[in-house]
Chains A and B, each alone.
Chain A
Amino acid sequence: DIVMTQSPLSLPVTPGEPASISCRSSQSLLHSNGYIYLDWYLQKPGRSPQLLIFLGSNRASGVPDRFSGSGSGTDYTLKISRVEAEDAGVYYCMQALQVPRTFGQGTKLEIK
């Protein structure tokens, strides 16, 4: 199975400040078809997860442009340019290259 490792696991951020979450995979998520099989999800408190980013860098419908994803190979990053209070929750990366799909441990973003 592909192991996904996120850091940090806890991230306190002041509103208006940037935030960055790292995700590393145990093998490259670049498929031979040229697509990167890496998604980011946000689970707000008491809610089910929601898709933020797919293909490593494509924002899902309705996701604000302050969210951006980047990376290649085994190293990926989710960035929030200016954190807002509504961004609080747990962020997960997930690889979709192989079955079983596997998730990172989650990064809890806390608003200071």
Chain B
Amino acid sequence: EIQLLESGGGLVQPGGSLRLSCAASGFTFKSYWMNWVRQAPGKGLEWVAAIKEDGSDRKYADSVKGRFFISRDNTKNSMDLQMNSLRVDDTAFYYCTREAHVQGPVRPFDPWGQGTLVTVSS
């Protein structure tokens, strides 16, 4: 069974840092782009960051660029999101998701982890 399990969420003060992790199992992790998507409580979905199969390419949403850093360890089947200079509006559930190989170059997000809640508050 394919599984993605996030961890590392919690309460942090504005300006603080937090590191999220995503543990993958049930598939060949090193063969897939991986992403983080977040959802503020009661709000919609916002793509945050993506990392290439071998970690050689990274992409970020403008809202987190320069503050967040995405990384992966293919020997441990894991992906991290280092979040620095956190702001109140970074409060959200953070989901780990895989870009699935479904047809040709198309890569929808499937599956999604259960999410981990990050709360930025003083």
**Chain A residues close to B by CB (< 8 Å):** 33, 35, 37, 39, 41, 43, 48-51, 54-55, 58, 60, 92, 94, 96, 99-106
In the complex, what's the smallest C-beta–C-beta distance from B67 to chain A, in angstroms?
A: 15
In the complex, what's the smallest C-beta–C-beta distance from B23 to chain A, in angstroms?
A: 15
Contact of B107 among A33, A60, A96 (CB under 8 A): A96
Range of interface residues on B (Cβ < 8 Å):
20 to 34
**Chain B residues close to A by CB (< 8 Å):** 35, 37, 44-47, 50, 59, 61-62, 95, 100, 102-115
**How far is B38's CA from A100's CA once the two chains are assembled, in angstroms?**
13
Contact of A35 among B37, B62, B106 (CB under 8 A): B106
**How far is B107's CA from A51's CA once the two chains are assembled, in angstroms?**
11
Give the interface centre of A39, A48, A104 by most chain B CB atoms within 10 Å. Answer: A48
